[in-house]
Amino acid sequence: MPATTRTTGDPIVVDDLSSDADAAAFRSLNERWITTFFTLEDEDRRLLGDPVRHIVEPGGVVLVARMGNEVVGCVGLAPHGTDEFELVKMAVDPDHQGHGTGRALIHAVIDRARELGARRVLLETNSSLTSAIHLYETTGFRHLGADEHPPSPYVRADVAMALDL
């Protein structure tokens, strides 16, 4: 069931990835933000190259945020063990940041994690992304110590967080 939120203009509708165009938008949005701040890594290329195969088919989900016919944001929820999922590849088009799109995506992906029976949602990010970290903190994620999570496949990941459901 799609989630909708917006105070002005077209509503933001969050729904499942459902087409090749959605997968292309997922890749494009993520590549854009990653290459703005960091460098694409092998794990980025793997997940972005085929999100259905690497996220959806193993039991996860990819959500897209639309305004009208345009995909303006996205997020993945990848299985991580038996009752844990990892929030992966969240991106919002720079022209649509600061208007609630990221928060709508976070709430939708947390709801979906609960529906899938998750006990916990993990994520990794970088300490320079203060707005993202603030968003995660205000939606209930807590910082993990180095001994509370496995090593990251990403060089840039220096923050790990979890939300217990």
User: Residue 151 falls within a domain, yes or no?
Assistant: no
> Pairing relation of β-strands 120-125 and 84-92?
parallel
pLDDT confidence of residue 88? 97
User: Residue 150 falls within a domain, yes or no?
Assistant: no
Q: What is the pTM of this model?
A: 0.92
Confidence band for 2, pLDDT divided at 50, 70 and 90: low
Task: State the Cα–Cα distance between residues 79 and 147, nearest whole angstrom.
Answer: 20
Residue 14: its H or E element: strand 12-16
Burial of 64 (0-12, 13-18, 19+ CB in 10 A): buried
DSSP character for 152?
P
User: Residue 86 falls within a domain, yes or no?
Assistant: yes
pLDDT confidence of residue 6? 41
- For 56-80, the DSSP string reads ITTT-EEEEEEETTEEEEEEEEEE-
User: φ, ψ for residue 25 (rounded to 5)?
Assistant: -65, -40
User: Residue 17 falls within a domain, yes or no?
Assistant: yes
Mean pLDDT of 120-125: 97
User: Residue 152 falls within a domain, yes or no?
Assistant: no
The pair of three-digit structure tokens given for residue 42, joined into one six-digit string: 């092998």
User: Residue 25 falls within a domain, yes or no?
Assistant: yes
Find the CATH number of the domain harbouring 84. 3.40.630.30
Q: What is the mean pLDDT of the chain?
A: 93
Total number of domains constituting the chain = 1
User: Residue 161 falls within a domain, yes or no?
Assistant: no
Confidence band for 26, pLDDT divided at 50, 70 and 90: very high
Residue 48: its H or E element: helix 42-49
Instruction: Kindly give the interhelix angle for 42-49 and 20-37, rounded to the nearest 10 degrees.
Output: 160
Residue 34: its H or E element: helix 20-37
Confidence band for 29, pLDDT divided at 50, 70 and 90: very high
